[in-house]
Structure 1
Amino acid sequence: MLKDVVFKITKERSYAYERSKYEHTNAPVLIFPDFELPFNLYIDASCSQGLGAALHHRQIVYGEPREGVICYISRKLKYSEVRYGATQTECPCLVLALEKLHYYLEGAVFEVYTGCTGLKSLLNMKTTNRHMLRWEIVIQEYRGKMTIIYKEVKGHTNADGLSRCPLDNVKRNPAYYPEVEAKIPINFMEIERNKNLRISEWAPESSTPDSGNTDSEGKETPILGISSSELHNEFFNEVMKTYAKHKQCGILLQLLQQKYRSPELESQLEEPWLRDYKENEFFLIDELLYHR
């Protein structure tokens, strides 16, 4: 296909397209997995379009090595993912493949082929943003078993084609991933509508698996569905007030929000805050301060 040239769907081309689809979704192109052998996972993300992955296997067929396909997955980008850059979009693509193909990859040795040169370096960063931190949690269990390899786009057309023409992100798609809902169930927050927000401490040890929504005294505790958009400002105002009361928290927030280290601010930190900060024990997610 050439740029600025009209592509006509002829009878021969239509037949070739249908024949290609059939051959790529049936034997001998599709093969059964052999869990004694390593897997090859090809991933690709197309900005503003979708994510695609193909799981391959190299087996000995009639005495000769041959790489076959086990399965393909793809889905369109969610609304929140459309704004990601090229490198950042490749990370959820890898996470998607690991989550949806875990029954093949858990405990197995495999190589990940990507057309993004920055994926490997991003995953090894000590200081990550909130998106990368969430994705790294998923990837952690595969460290030591997974090797990420860069492959040029010309030799990466299997996953590239999947990401450029992905399946809709709907429930019938095996790669379906729902958008974050506006209402989330919470059983450790008490909301008072008189302009006050009180956060009660959650004590999981006081409940048992069979106790349902009752506390240790048998009293019912509310399980609420709240709108995060309605309480967002009120909640963060209360959190920021708490941070403002503690000098060390305020200094940590300034340090973590800066792109470069600030010796002047670091000198104001006391122990053990300074030690844990230098060891990257503190991090921010959605403007909230966490300690590893």
Structure 2
Amino acid sequence: MERLCLVWALEKLHYYFDETVFDVITDCNAVKSLLRMKTPYRNILRWQISIQGYRGNMTIVHKSGNIHKNAYGHSRWALANTPENPAWVTQEENHIEGICVTDIGTEFSNQVKESYKMDKNCHIL
């Protein structure tokens, strides 16, 4: 499942990773073996082909789950930041103090709207 997650992320977020050197840090040995398998099953072969373009730019690093404390942060229910929580952090949270909103101008806004009307691909949407 973790291998499929990597393939999905690279396909959906390819514009962030294109021509960028990056590391994939995982606690799953199967992900690390994804590019090294000699005779994979059909689905894994398709996954290998789909991520082939990242082969020179991507490094898959295995990090033990004991060391990799945030490995399952998104899939687990978050505990409140209280002293009873073993991962309690004593620092305070930073809250947003203000938001700056700017006006792009009516003329520019109208130009954008007109360009959408003239673009046949945007009109289909």
The interval holding the TM-score normalised by the smaller chain is 0.5 to 0.7
**Secondary structure in structure 2 of the residue aligned to 1:152:** coil
Report which of the two has the higher share of helix: 2
- Amino acid in structure 2 at the alignment position of 1:125: M
**Secondary structure in structure 1 of the residue aligned to 2:54:** coil
Larger Rg: 1
Q: Which has the higher contact order (CA 8 A, sep 6+)?
A: 2
The equivalent of 1:96 in structure 2 is: 8
Q: Which runs of 4+ in 1 moved over 4 A?
A: none
The equivalent of 1:158 in structure 2 is: 70
Alignment pair present for 1:145 and 2:57: yes
Alignment pair present for 1:129 and 2:41: yes
Q: Structure 2 vs 1, CA of residues 157 and 100 (structure 1 numbering), >3 Å: closer, same or farther? A: farther
Q: Deviations over 1:204-241 (max 9, x none)?
A: xxxxxxxxxxxxxxxxxxxxxxxxxxxxxxxxxxxxxx
The equivalent of 2:90 in structure 1 is: none
1:99-248 alignment, distance < 5 Å: 99-164=11-76
**Number of aligned positions between the proteins:** 77
Deviation at 1:112, TM superposition (A): 0.6
TM-score of the superposed pair, with normalisation by structure 2:
0.54
Which residues of structure 2 form unaligned runs of 5+?
78-125
Rounded Cα–Cα distance in structure 2 between residues aligned with 1:150 and 1:101: 22
**Secondary structure in structure 1 of the residue aligned to 2:47:** helix
Q: Structure 2 vs 1, CA of residues 104 and 159 (structure 1 numbering), >3 Å: closer, same or farther? A: farther
Which residues of structure 1 form unaligned runs of 5+?
1-88, 166-292
Q: Structure 2 vs 1, CA of residues 155 and 100 (structure 1 numbering), >3 Å: closer, same or farther? A: farther
Report which of the two has the higher share of strand: 1
- Amino acid in structure 2 at the alignment position of 1:106: D
Q: Among the aligned pairs, what percent are the same residue? A: 57
Rounded Cα–Cα distance in structure 2 between residues aligned with 1:135 and 1:163: 23
